[in-house]
Amino acid sequence: MEVIIQPNAEAVGRYAARVVTRVMRGRLAPVLGLATGTTPLPLYQELIRLHREEALDFGACSTFNLDEYVGLPARHPQSYRSFMQEHLLSRINVPPERVHIPDGMAEDIATACADYEEAIRKADGIDVQVLGIGTSGHIGFNEPTSSLRSRTRIKTLTDRTRRDNARFFGTEEDVPHHVITMGIGTILDSRRCLMLATGAGKAPAVAAMIEGPLTAMCPASALQMHPQVTVVLDEAAASALTHGSYYRWVYENKPAWQRD
């Protein structure tokens, strides 16, 4: 893993946007894996700025989102499709037919999950997968004990995750119990993973992901097996790292041509 520590969330977003932009410019038909939540918002804001002010073109892109709540219609204000439309997709020029988000209203969820995997394969895989990390160490909605080889499927949320997400719904009772999520194996198939984490509340999970053992109890630790992972943290999210000074030294002494 390459660990990049930035001063604040806005700087995390700007750095992440440079990574995504470099990937896009290196592919004729870039495939972007996207995430929801508050953490990637500075990234999306910077991508929107680059599109509007520097002509960053998303016209050849395809996108695949990590997950969606089961039972929420696409137009529900807390659906992840609504989130993506509001915070990114309506403000850039990705063709609508190339936008892929799991269908939480599918009548046959197992078939919908298999079809999602097939769509990723037909797109020649994901070039860069944006990720956040939950306080329990989950990625996507792969909760602790998830199989490290899992594929897109339905998952039951833990009480901890539902409590964490209750702030978006008003009450914990309103948070769905089930989701469709890319599996850990699906995520690891991406050519590059871009993990973003901000805030002190994420610091224990970040430390377990980077410096802890590889274990299904911290699903994000599976990223230790990926050949190209960039982890971009603010100071607060990096605060529990044992080797933080080492990661800073490595980054500060990288040759300029190796930097995003």
End-to-end CA distance of the chain: 14
Model confidence at 255: pLDDT above 90: no
Map out the domains of the chain with their CATH numbers: 2-255 (3.40.50.1360)
**Packing angle between helix 41-54 and helix 9-25, nearest 10 degrees?**
50
Instruction: Kindly report, residue by residue over 156-181, the tens digit of the pLDDT.
Output: 999 999 999 998 898 889 899 999 99
| pTM score, whole prediction | 0.95
Alpha-carbon distance of 139 to 133, in angstroms, equals: 5
pLDDT at 88: 98
pLDDT classification of 259: cutoffs 50, 70, 90: confident
Query: At a CB cut-off of 8 Å and minimum separation 6, what does 117 contact?
Result: 151, 152, 186
Instruction: Kindly report, residue by residue over 213-223, the tens digit of the pLDDT.
Output: 999 999 999 99
Overall average pLDDT of the 48-56 stretch: 97
Tokens of 12: 């995390």
pLDDT classification of 145: cutoffs 50, 70, 90: very high
pLDDT at 260: 74
Instruction: Kindly report, residue by residue over 88-126, the tens digit of the pLDDT.
Output: 999 999 999 999 999 999 999 999 999 999 999 999 999
Overall average pLDDT of the 16-20 stretch: 98
Place of tokens 């911290």: 218
Alpha-carbon distance of 232 to 19, in angstroms, equals: 10
Share of the chain above pLDDT 70, in %: 100
Ranges of beta strands (E only) in the chain are 2-6, 31-34, 62-65, 67-69, 99-100, 128-131, 153-156, 178-181, 193-197, 229-234
Looking at every residue in the chain, the average pLDDT score rounds to 96
Amino acid letter, 82 = S
Model confidence at 258: pLDDT above 80: no
pLDDT at 201: 97
Q: How many residues are listed for the chain in this entry?
A: 260
